[in-house]
Structure 1
Amino acid sequence: MAEMWKKTVLLVIDMQKDFIAEGSSVQVLGGPAIVPAVIKAVEMSRHRGMLVVWVVREHDPLGRDVELYSQRMYGTGKTGPLVKGSVGGELVDGLEIHEGEYKLVKTRFSAFFATHLHYFLQRAGINRVVVVGVQTPNCIRQTVFDAVELDYESVTVIVDATAAATPEVHNAANIFDMKNIGVVTPTLQEWCK
């Protein structure tokens, strides 16, 4: 088992204040409830000797690197979400990057799209992916589908350490689809055994 964990990465996706804080323009309503589970998943990953990769969004203050539909939130005189160096772009309380872990900045949903993540994981000998964070129909789903397309040996989504706006969106519309393409979907308790 120890050898398997050394070939497994935990991707912690978008656990940033703007996505979790109440009242934020991009808050994921189910996000606050999963913070303790994400903390536990990170602790367990460290205990197992897994690589932890912190996937975050950081945007230009003028929104020149955001999706077209998001550009309305940025520009002169506007303070858009997840701006590089902003408080909203920081990890939520209780989560911090430790020495030897890796921070990956993305500007789109998938952690693999227009980033070097796949090459980084290949060089590290990683062939198994575990995902936690927000938000299930966007960044979680896109990252997971890309990991499947890139032929990672195993792709896992910890169902109670990921969240969406509602349980229906999370479970019925997304976890269901991921299971149908072979993604493993344990609870945190099951994954920790």
Structure 2
Amino acid sequence: MKEALLVIDYTIDFVAEDGKLTCGLPGQQLERYIVDTTKDFIERQQFVVIPNDIHEENDPFHPETALFPPHNIRGTEGRHLFGELQSLYEANQARVIWMDKTRYSAFAGTNLDILLRERNIRTVHLMGVCTDICILHTAIDAYNLGYEIVIHTGGVASFDMEAHEFALKHFKNVLNAKVIE
């Protein structure tokens, strides 16, 4: 069965200690799991997409401008993938798709749904940060588009633990996602 792995927003700005909107240690502790799972998907020739937040500096029209400090600004180091995932991506660019996204969901305003359907993919595995924001919104859109959803608890984190726990329950109880340890 063809499946896709989406590694969402696992960037320096969202994960590194000095990231502009970091979830800090909880995000850093995901690195080994995310890297190993990504390697596994690549080796099994499954579809891997890395959707990443992109913002323009001082954009007064983007809705996140009023909610969060500037982060993942085009052309900054903060948009690079965190840790070993960056070198894994660089070594596998022919088999991994980098996707810029401007909203929480990896489906909003992108061609992700088209790419998945072209490949007859019906199951999406979600990992990255933040569980209760970009992972959740991507999962909701995946659900509404008819995809089966797999959430890897060892591959998601947030800067808000209460919201993280809510999202994990929501994935399972409302979106019928398979939540795996």
Structures share a fold, TM > 0.5? yes
CA spacing shift, 1:23–1:151, aligned 2, 3 Å = same
The match for 2:74 among 77, 84, 88 is 84
Moved more, 175-184 or 54-63: 54-63
Cα shift readout 1:8-61 (whole Å, capped 9, x = no counterpart): 100000010000111333111321111111111101111222110011112112
- Please say if residues 9 and 52 of structure 2, whose CA atoms lie closer than 8 Å, have aligned partners that are also in contact: yes
Shift of 1:159: 0.7
Q: What's 1:8 paired with?
A: 3
Farther off after superposition, 159-168 or 134-143: 159-168
Of 8, 12, 18 in structure 2, the residue corresponding to residue 17 of structure 1 is: 12
**Aligned counterparts of 1:27 and 1:70: Cα–Cα separation in 2:** 17
RMSD (Å), alpha carbons = 1.7
| Closer, same or farther: CA 24–101 of 1 in aligned 2, 3 Å | closer
1:62 corresponds to 2:58: yes
Query: Could you tell me how far apart the structure 1 residues matched to 2:151 and 2:14 are?
Result: 19
Which residue in the other structure is 1:43 paired with?
A: 39
Displacement of 1:63 in angstroms is 2.0
Give the whole-Å Cα distance in 1 for the aligned partners of 2:42 and 2:21. Answer: 29
Change over 3 Å in CA distance of 1:23–1:143 after alignment to 2: same
TM-score for the superposition, normalised by structure 1: 0.84
- Match of 2:149, SS state, is strand
Inter-CA distance 169–107: structure 2 relative to 1 (3 Å threshold): same
Residues paired across the two proteins, number? 174
Structure 2: 5+ residue stretches without partners = none
Structure 1 residue 156 corresponds to structure 2 residue 150: yes
CA contact (8 A) 2:20 2:78 kept: no
Give the Å deviation of 1:164. 1.1
Q: Highest CA radius of gyration, 1 or 2?
A: 1
Contact preservation (8 Å) 1:106, 1:115: yes
Identity %: 26
Partner of 1:179: 172
